[in-house]
Chain A
Amino acid sequence: MPATGFQALILCGPGVSLNTFTSNPEEFPKALVPVANRPMVWYPLDWCYRLGVTSIHLITPPSAAPAISSALSTDPHLTSLPVPRPIVLAPVGLTQNTGTAELFRLQDVRAVVTGDFIVLPCDLISELGGEGLLDSWMVLQAGLGGVTGRRSGHNGPKMSINGEHGGRRGGLGVWYETRGEGSVKNQETDFIATVPLPPRPIPPAPGSIMANLSKVVIAMPTDTLKDKMTKKGSFSVRKSLLRKHPKVKMLMTQRDAHIYFFPHWVLDMMRHDRFDSISEDVIGWWAKATWQDGLSAKLGLREILESPARNVSEDSTAADVYREEEIDIASLSSTKVSGLQTSAPHKDQTAPFASRIGDSKVNQNTTPKLVVPNMLAYVHPSRDSAPLIRRVDTSALLLTVSLHLAKLGSVEDLGSAASALAHTSKIAYPAGVAQKTTITKSDCLLADNVTVGERAVIKQSVIGANCRIEIGVRLTRCLLMDGAVIGERCQLDGCIIGRRSRIGKGSILRDCEMQDGFAVPDGAEAKGENFMAFEGLDGEDDAGIGLGDGGDDDD
């Protein structure tokens, strides 16, 4: 695959809702929490490589940078990724609490973004490859003359021919359904209102994701929406929206996957102080600005999109070549509806805002109406057979997603038909498994060097490397991270056990979460508990004996 011109930025933030396992983000950041025996960040990295994007930056607070860097060079999964290696970028001034849009105002980050970019979270697990998304973006949004519009250092024609001026080169985001199979209670959801794209002369090919694309017109987290509605007593939609887009679909149970394909100009837009987070502020305001008159001027989009920095003479030769296509594409472009809106009252409304733009003051009445490029949404269908897209940001999701991935057939069994996320083999170290054990191979995943004692029964579980399962243990729907030790005759159901934890003999645990390096005494019984130490652990070395008192409570 030729270079796409996109670069990827993976945001490795703190795992606030995974705090059982990320209580010490400096040592063990969220990005390294294992999901089905691989560090979480492996999934977005792998996604990018499969997409053909090789310029990848991991953006992380300086405090967590050493841990991620060392993992990149030591973790067997991360080292097996192709070259060029991802670059860890730890900009000064980035803290664990910096907003996702705010961090794009940091000088270090701006310096590395040289062209169009993809923003990904570190907790994205996507069975859906990015090729379809990229393909759609190119068909619907790419400027002419070269796929993307790098500002400098590229030889293709410039984008002034038909780029953001013509209302193309917008963004693309991904939303997925939170309900249905594998759903978890109390998941965060994002409200989006979408309108269908104008029908294209050629129907999308079967299997293409084009049919699921729509244009975002309102976006906000569902909680914000609920607050707004309780305040107002109703949800009100502006008539001006309905006039422009008479068919508005309101999606309440989708979640923003935080995969964004952004053209370079979005970086300039995010310079505005108003933006704090990408999903809430950038997408929300941008979506509104595509139909609400005057808002684009407020956001300073005219300056950005009609930037005088472009050198016309430099482009002229290329422009001639592409002139013909320019006309063609404009008529097919998805923005033709908004392009027609040039009636007088609209102008009146934009006038006061337009005056803020310094150099257009004189001819503000004659400035052409600004066409804001669209923000597209790929709304992932919620069919059971559809590929999985999830953001793993709670422990419940960590468990369900891990168990889901454990069900994928291994490469050993299926060969090339195996999923891209499948492991080489379901049981990496068969020699460690004793006789007379029951392991349901179809929904279990055992990593390297796992030893299983006799008469153990393991169902629907994921067991990390170097774990030791003693005799007669029963595991159902469990996730064991690396180096956990389960004592004899323990019964665990729906538990997530942190790294190097130790569970005493005969314990019966149900729906529990256990911090790294925690020890549970023999014969403990608990249900729905969260075992974690309230003081920070002294260091990596005292793994084995935790100081927690949770284990005995139920006795």
Chain B
Amino acid sequence: MNRKPQKSNASAGKRAGDDEREDTLQAVVLADSYETRFNPFTLERPRCLLPLANTPMIEYTFDFLANAGVQDIFVYCGAHTSLVEEYIRKSKWSLPSSPFKSLEIIKSTSRSVGDAMRDLDGRHLITGDFIVVSADVVSNLPLEGALAKHRARRAADKNAIMTMILRETDSTPQGELQISAPSFLIDPSKDRCLFYQETQQGMDRVDIDPDLMLSFPGAELRNDLTDCYIDICTPDVLALWTDSFDYESPRKHFLFGVLKDHELNGKTIHTHIVSNHYARRVRNLQAYHTVSRDILQRWAYPLCPDSNLLVGQSYRHGRDNIYKEENVVLARSSVIGPETVVGDDTSIADGSTIRSSVIGRRCQVGKNVSIDGSHIWDDTVIGDGSKLRDAIVASGVVVGQNCNICPGALVSYGVRLADGISVSGGSRITRFKCKCNNDEEPKAVPSDKAVVGEGGEGYEFKESEAEGDDEPETVPSPIRLYNMPNQAVSSSSVSSVSTFSSDVSLGRIHHSKSGSFATVASKDGQDDGDFYHDAASSIFDSLQRGDAWDVVQLELVGLRMSSNANYHQVRRAVVAAFMKRVQQLLDAQSKGISEAVSELLKKYKELVKRTIFDYEKEAKDDQVDFLLLVQKDALNREKGESILLFTAKELYELEIVEEEGILQWWGDERASEGELEGVKGRVRQFVEWLENADEGTESESE
């Protein structure tokens, strides 16, 4: 968006001999985290714009990239694109003095890192080695060393496609890091990553392939590395992402998959382990708190408040790591404890005590308030006598008098708490307007008097689904702050908030896993994962090519035989491939839903029919199963309800599924469980029509 004239390139001389490569270093900043760990704040603002020690996180990331000598930046936005765009337009990074030659914002409807990378591949923007970083990384690491090593490796071996930056944890790591840390198997002679495994709950062993052990003597198995999510990639990485259309997460899927398929693709991924610089990603609320503390304690120097990263900041560093801006009004009897930041125009009245906390600009803290270990963003008002401990209070919140906010509470934008309210630990209060139905305007959820009191505004935010059974880290953290069990469970790493901004928003908070083959596979156990994965991709490929149904059928039978899969698995694969194809057709916008579904099903009617074997039976188990699978899949798709409706209708018309099958499915308990109920809405008419028709025929026959 902001191309500036060519600036003198300091590093040009260094690599003058290298003609093959473009001179500019590019970086991709993922401004959407594709996660829900910061809900309810991220309902209204993207994570990268949330203030960390009173400076939006993306500032730290840009600063890091500027230090690394990056010149072209592509900011990938999912949710809240307009907010990010506006922020960047107004920021110093868009000024002529910006160290970046170009700063481009890419809007996309991506719902995972994988989508973004595949989209990027399609745009052909990347010309050479580039850095992928998420917009919530705080690091003072100079990248020269890692870049030089990466390039040397790349020159020696074209297959060295990626270098991950990992940070060695101190010898006395905090429990949080140790327990949730993934395991890396690294060949120290080449810094090559051989194996990666994320820690899952209940796993007490790390299983390593014997071949790896034998072929790499001297490999190190390490559990003490913090993943900074800073990757130096070559363009080949994008091609790999495109090849594997079901990868979503850059680690769990991409890294694991590429390492696993090393024999097929021959690519190697390397690591760069740093121990003497700060680098950390704010990936959850615990990290938010620790990184904030680290910044205040100057571990990330020069990234600290008195560096005044933002234009107009005027922080000064006082003793005991107290940072204050210029116009702070402190009452004489107020006490400011160590490791505290207080923003401009904030006033703190008599008798208040602030300890280890961050307080934004223009806040009014009343008398005898006690704030400990909390993060209070701009423009908040805290009434007299309130107590806050280990909580996050977002901008514009008004806390009444004598309120008590317990450890772990999150209070989102604009919430008003009446006097004397006590907010229990771990609760999340928001005023966010939820779009409850597709066609309606967003409407405010009525305030919950029990939570915010008489005259207050806001309601307790509930994740509409406590899914996320593949969540790798349920962290029994020693840090008492934000240690909320439900938070840890629901923060599925592949979930998506981006649907809020996409023009076709689903009528509910969408944060389940998107329907990737891999994630679904992980739910159904490891054994059939391979079959499912292979079969689904094979069918999908065939559908794309438009192969005849018997060809696809033949291939499917072969796969089924070889991996001894049962018909449920076959159906699962077929459904996944069909739905993916439907989605693809829709995305291409060549056809409407009904057209796409009907065309596809007509062509492959026989294929589907051959996965169902209960036409003669009373109980239509297979048909119910098939519909359930469609339903589950539709759950994660945009326009899922419509897809489900048209699919059901088409299945019925083509006599793939019989009337009894549909009715049995409708009545099946499994079809109404939890979230599944949600997508059934539009099918109801169809089912009712069926039921009526049924009665009609019955009455006729009488």
Mutual binders A and B: yes
In the complex, how many residues of chain A place their beta carbon closer than 8 angstroms to a beta carbon of chain B? 25
B218–A252 CB distance below 8 A: yes
Give Cα A240 to B206, complex, Å.
Answer: 10
Q: Most chain-B CB neighbours within 10 Å: which of A193, A198, A243?
A: A243
Q: Which of A137-145, A152-160, A231-239, A327-335 contacts B (4 or more CB under 8 A)?
A: A231-239
Q: Which residue of A lies closest to B178 (CB)?
A: A243
A242–B206 CB distance below 8 A: yes
| B residues less than 8 Å from A251 (CB atoms) | 217-218
The reply on A230 being an interface residue by CB < 8 A is yes
B207–A234 CB distance below 8 A: yes
Partner of B207, one of A198, A236, A248: A236
Interface residue ranges of B234-263 to A (CB < 8 Å): none
Q: Which residue of B lies closest to A230 (CB)?
A: B210
The reply on B287 being an interface residue by CB < 8 A is no
Given contacts A235-B213, A237-B206, A239-B206, contact A248 B171 (CB under 8 A): no
The reply on A358 being an interface residue by CB < 8 A is no
Query: 1/0 per position for A198-241, CB-CB distance to B under 8 A?
Result: 11000000000000000000000000011001100111111110
The reply on A253 being an interface residue by CB < 8 A is yes
B221–A248 CB distance below 8 A: yes
Give Cα A246 to B222, complex, Å.
Answer: 5
The reply on A151 being an interface residue by CB < 8 A is no
The reply on A250 being an interface residue by CB < 8 A is yes
| A residues less than 8 Å from B221 (CB atoms) | 193, 237, 242, 247-250
Q: Which residue of B lies closest to A199 (CB)?
A: B171
Give Cα A407 to B209, complex, Å.
Answer: 42
Q: Which residue of A lies closest to B225 (CB)?
A: A246
| B residues less than 8 Å from A238 (CB atoms) | 204-206
A249–B220 CB distance below 8 A: yes
A246–B181 CB distance below 8 A: yes
| B residues less than 8 Å from A253 (CB atoms) | 217-218
The reply on B136 being an interface residue by CB < 8 A is no
The reply on B173 being an interface residue by CB < 8 A is yes
Give Cα A413 to B214, complex, Å.
Answer: 45
B169–A246 CB distance below 8 A: yes
| A residues less than 8 Å from B171 (CB atoms) | 198-199
B204–A239 CB distance below 8 A: yes
| B residues less than 8 Å from A229 (CB atoms) | 210, 213
Interface residue ranges of A244-261 to B (CB < 8 Å): 246-253
| B residues less than 8 Å from A237 (CB atoms) | 205-206, 208, 221
Give Cα A243 to B219, complex, Å.
Answer: 18
Give Cα A243 to B176, complex, Å.
Answer: 11
A250–B217 CB distance below 8 A: yes
B205–A236 CB distance below 8 A: yes
Given contacts A246-B173, A251-B217, A252-B214, contact A239 B203 (CB under 8 A): yes
Q: Which residue of B lies closest to A340 (CB)?
A: B172
B219–A242 CB distance below 8 A: no
Query: 1/0 per position for A261-293, CB-CB distance to B under 8 A?
Result: 000000000000000000000000000000000
Q: Nearest-CB distance from A345 to chain B (Å)?
A: 11
| B residues less than 8 Å from A225 (CB atoms) | 213
Query: 1/0 per position for B174-206, CB-CB distance to A under 8 A?
Result: 000011010100001000000000010001111
Q: Which residue of A lies closest to B213 (CB)?
A: A235
The reply on B308 being an interface residue by CB < 8 A is no
Give Cα A246 to B220, complex, Å.
Answer: 10
B223–A247 CB distance below 8 A: yes
Partner of B178, one of A199, A226, A234, A246: A246
Instruction: List, sorted by A's number, 30 A–B pairs whose CB atoms are closer than 8 Å.
Output: A193-B221, A198-B171, A199-B171, A225-B213, A226-B210, A229-B213, A233-B210, A234-B207, A235-B207, A235-B208, A236-B205, A237-B206, A239-B206, A240-B204, A242-B183, A242-B223, A243-B178, A243-B223, A246-B169, A246-B222, A247-B220, A247-B221, A248-B221, A249-B220, A250-B213, A250-B218, A251-B218, A252-B213, A252-B217, A252-B218
- A sample of 19 more A-B contacts (CB under 8 A), given A226-B210, A249-B188, is A230-B210, A235-B207, A236-B206, A239-B203, A239-B204, A239-B205, A242-B183, A246-B224, A247-B220, A247-B221, A247-B224, A248-B220, A249-B219, A250-B213, A250-B220, A251-B217, A252-B218, A253-B217, A253-B218
The 9 closest A-B pairs by CB, nearest first: A246-B224, A252-B217, A229-B210, A246-B223, A242-B223, A234-B207, A236-B205, A253-B217, A248-B221
